[in-house]
Amino acid sequence: MAADITEELENVDLVIVGAGLFGLTVAQQAVEHAGARVLILESRDHIGGNAYSYIDKETGAEIHKYGAHLFHTSSPVVWEYVNRFTKFTNYVHRVYTTHRGEVFPLPINLGTINQFFHAHYTPQEAEALIREQAGELASSDPQNLNDKGISLIGRPLYEAFIKNYTGKQWQTDPAELPAGIINRLPVRFNYDNRYFKDTWEGLPEDGYTTWFERMIDDPRIDVRLNTDFFDTTQPLNRDAIVGKVPVVYTGPVDRYFDYSLGELKWRTVDFEEVRYDEADHLGCPVMNFADADVPYTRAIEFKNFNPERRAQQNANKTVVWREYSRTAERGDEPYYPVNTQTDKDLYARYADSAAQQPSVVFGGRLGTYKYYDMHQVIATALNAYEHDIASLLGANEERQ
């Protein structure tokens, strides 16, 4: 077996662990700029990481298997790059929240404020109202999330839309959570309810998975699914590869080091699927539920992300996924780094260990213990290729 793996690696210039956006971007860049032969190892049965999607046969909806993914960016470099592989729809993301049986637009804007207070405040009047309702906390430096939220948007709006929602997300009283979780809460003193403020946004016209397949549509890229980098019973494992060929590792950084310094903490999400015999159940793609007596944080109706596909969808069926947040256990899908000071200190120690791995580049959410949106993952991957990976391949040419 050792001879077989040695022979196989002789035909590989770069091994990438994980077929998420970071790994796919690096693979594409390595082939394009260095002519590299790339081997991607993926433990799941699909590419695309948490952005993977598939078509639901009953409804025709594109299901985002790991929760809603919306592409948006203000980076011309990233926007130009992704448009090489997919066109985007004109989708603009808007979110609504249900509070005490009434639906409000988010982020909190002048429409939310006037609806909540049954008023017709001008922008200046609404701004003055928020300052007044923040009270003495407005000029303080709160250390917990509860007081920080009140200082930013006033007590009534915070308690209606943020407090219980955040409590469900973290399964913790916000008064016991660090203020840094919500360093800012967007409040708009106009009627703009567009969720993102980026220059460009949209959804890939042919779906996420087709986009990702195009990125690695090259015979020099070999993808091995259902392959666990840490499983020593199969030949393509960490011990057999590291040191013999450059590696880009995008899995959990603590897992790479066998949790030798301790485990980093994450939040995960469970999904409950509900199907309805109707064309449209929520009337929007995403509905938050701000009240404590609703156990889930939000619901996603996937058909509503792609109204341009109505002709291909089942007009009599729809599917909704409800999201439940909880602390991740080992073996769960990690979504959001908890990032307490203890976790930050622990990650810093792992980062020191990672720096001692000269032929391994750590990247992506899991490899760097950071929460990234999709455009940020791509930007960091392009940067990592240019500054770290190209030199490992002996390819120092500038990215076009």
CB 32 within 8 A of CB 215: no
Query: What is the number of other CB atoms lying within 10 angstroms of the CB of residue 397?
Result: 9
243 touches 359 (CB < 8 A): yes
Q: Identify whether 371 is a catalytic site residue.
A: yes
SS3 category, 101: coil
Identify whether the C-beta of residue 208 lies closer than 8 Å to the C-beta of residue 69.
yes
Helix, coil or strand: residue 126: helix
CA distance 206 to 82: 13
Catalytic residue among 255, 267, 322, 365: 267
Is 352 one of the catalytic residues?
A: no
Closest CA to 323 of 333, 315, 331: 333
Burial of 290 (0-12, 13-18, 19+ CB in 10 A): buried
184, 258, 277, 397: the active-site residue: 184
Residue 52 structure tokens = 């993977």
Q: Based on the residue annotation, tell me whether 184 is a catalytic residue of this protein.
A: yes
Annotated catalytic residue within 52, 91, 323, 369: 323
Residue 112: burial class (beta carbons within 10 Å; 0-12, 13-18, 19+)? buried
**Of 37, 188, 255, 322, which one is the catalytic site residue?**
188
Say how far apart CA 270 and CA 322 lie, in whole Å: 8
How far apart (Å, rounded) are the C-alpha atoms in residues 39 and 171? 40
Known catalytic residue: 270? no
Q: Which of 37, 44, 255, 298 is catalytic?
A: 298
Active-site residue flag, 102: no
Q: How many Cβ atoms from other residues are within 10 Å of residue 60's Cβ?
A: 20
Rounded to whole angstroms, the Cα distance separating 76 from 80 reads: 6
Residue from 159, 373, 386, 388 carrying the catalytic annotation: 373
Give the residue numbers marked as catalytic: 184, 188, 267, 298, 323, 371, 373
